[in-house]
Amino acid sequence: MAHRMAARLEPRISHAFLRSHSTLARSAVCSTTPAANARRSGAIASSSTSTIRSFSSGGQNETISDRETITRLLYSLASRKEVERYLRIFSAANKFAVLKVGGAILTHQLEELALSLSFLHRVGLYPIVLHGAGPQLNEILEKEGVEPDYIDGIRITDPRTLRVARQVFLEENQRLVEKLESFGSRARPIPLGTFTASYLDKEKYGLVGKIEKVDKEPIESAIRAGCLPILTSLAETEDGQILNVNADVAASELSKVLEPLKIVYLNEKGGLFHGKTGDLIETINLDEEYDDLMKQEWVKYGTKLKLREMKELLDHLPRSSSVAIISVDQLQKELFTDSGAGTLIRRGYKLYKHDNIESVGAERLRDLLKNNDEEIKGGRKSVAQFFSELSKSPYTIYGDEPFDVVAFVSRPEGEVPVLTKLVATRNGVLNSVNDNVWNQIRKDHKRLVWTARADDENRAWHYERADGSFTRNGRSLFYYGIHDVSEVEDVVKSLEEKARVERAYLPLRAAPSRPTATRAYSTSARSIASVGLNQQKRGYATAVERVGPLSATTSEPKRVALIGARGYTGQALVSILNKHPNLTLSHVSSRELAGRELPGYEKEPVRYSNIGVEEIKKLEQGRLDGPPPDAYIMALPNGVCKPFVEAVQEGGKNRPNGHATIVDLSADYRFEDDWTYGLPELYSRQAVRDAKLISNPGCYATAIQSLIAPLIPMLDSQSAPTVFGISGYSGAGTKAAPSGTSGQSQTPGATVPKVSPENLQGGVRPYSLTDHIHEREASRHLSKLAANGNVDLGFIPAVAPWFQGILATVNAPLREKVTAKDVKKLYEEFYAGQGPLVELVNKVPEVHDIALQHGIKIGGIQVHSSGKRVVVVGGIDNLLKGAATQCIQNLNIALGYDELAGIQA
Instruction: Supply the CATH number for residue 751's domain.
Output: 3.30.360.10
∠ CA 811-814-817, nearest 5°, is: 120
Answer whether residue 152 is part of any domain.
Answer: yes
pLDDT, tens only, 684-698: 898 999 999 999 999
**pTM value surpassing 0.75:** no
Answer whether residue 620 is part of any domain.
Answer: yes
Query: Do 731 and 808 belong to one domain?
Result: yes
Query: Do 321 and 459 belong to one domain?
Result: no
Answer whether residue 483 is part of any domain.
Answer: yes
Catalytic residues, by residue number, are 699
| Burial (CB count within 10 angstroms: exposed 0-12, middle 13-18, buried 19+), residue 402 | middle
Answer whether residue 632 is part of any domain.
Answer: yes
- The whole-angstrom separation of Cα 667 and Cα 40 is 18
Answer whether residue 31 is part of any domain.
Answer: no
Half-sphere exposure of 574 (CA within 13 A, CB side): 24
**Position 75: which residue type?**
Y
- The whole-angstrom separation of Cα 588 and Cα 607 is 7
Q: Are 294 and 36 in contact (CB under 8 A)?
A: no
Query: Do 684 and 599 belong to one domain?
Result: yes
Query: Do 203 and 317 belong to one domain?
Result: yes
Query: Do 665 and 710 belong to one domain?
Result: no
Q: Are 15 and 448 in contact (CB under 8 A)?
A: no
Q: What is the length of the chain?
A: 905
Sheet strand arrangement including 765-766: 765-766, 794-800, 722-728, 806-813, 869-876, 856-863, 838-840
Instruction: Supply the CATH number for residue 173's domain.
Output: 3.40.1160.10
Answer whether residue 895 is part of any domain.
Answer: no
- The whole-angstrom separation of Cα 133 and Cα 112 is 17
pLDDT of residue 677: 94
Domain boundary among 664, 695, 726: 695
pLDDT of residue 749: 47
Query: Do 192 and 260 belong to one domain?
Result: yes
Name the percent of the chain lying above pLDDT 70: 78
Half-sphere exposure of 505 (CA within 13 A, CB side): 27
pLDDT of residue 270: 85
Query: Do 188 and 102 belong to one domain?
Result: yes
- The whole-angstrom separation of Cα 881 and Cα 878 is 6
Domain boundary among 695, 721, 746: 695
| Burial (CB count within 10 angstroms: exposed 0-12, middle 13-18, buried 19+), residue 894 | buried
- The whole-angstrom separation of Cα 344 and Cα 341 is 8
What is the residue range of 632's domain? 558-695
Query: Do 630 and 762 belong to one domain?
Result: no
Spans in the chain with pLDDT lower than 70: 1-86, 89, 92-94, 301-302, 338-339, 348-349, 429-432, 454-461, 464, 472-474, 485, 503-545, 566, 731-758, 904-905
**Position 539: which residue type?**
G
Query: Do 682 and 705 belong to one domain?
Result: no
- The whole-angstrom separation of Cα 715 and Cα 488 is 19
Answer whether residue 368 is part of any domain.
Answer: no
Instruction: Supply the CATH number for residue 421's domain.
Output: 3.40.630.30
Query: Do 649 and 620 belong to one domain?
Result: yes
pLDDT of residue 459: 65
Answer whether residue 511 is part of any domain.
Answer: no
Instruction: Supply the CATH number for residue 691's domain.
Output: 3.40.50.720
pLDDT, tens only, 10-68: 323 333 322 232 223 323 333 333 333 332 233 333 333 344 444 444 433 443 455 55
Task: Collapse the DSSP code of 395 into the 3-class scheme (helix H, G, I; strand E, B; otherwise coil) and give the result.
Answer: strand
| Burial (CB count within 10 angstroms: exposed 0-12, middle 13-18, buried 19+), residue 762 | exposed
- The whole-angstrom separation of Cα 443 and Cα 208 is 49
Query: Do 96 and 233 belong to one domain?
Result: yes
Domain boundary among 658, 680, 695: 695
pLDDT, tens only, 669-718: 998 888 999 999 999 898 999 999 999 999 999 999 999 999 999 999 88
| Residue among 237, 145, 225 nearest 195 (CA) | 237
pLDDT of residue 469: 75
- The whole-angstrom separation of Cα 409 and Cα 376 is 17
Total of domains in the chain? 4
Query: Do 665 and 720 belong to one domain?
Result: no
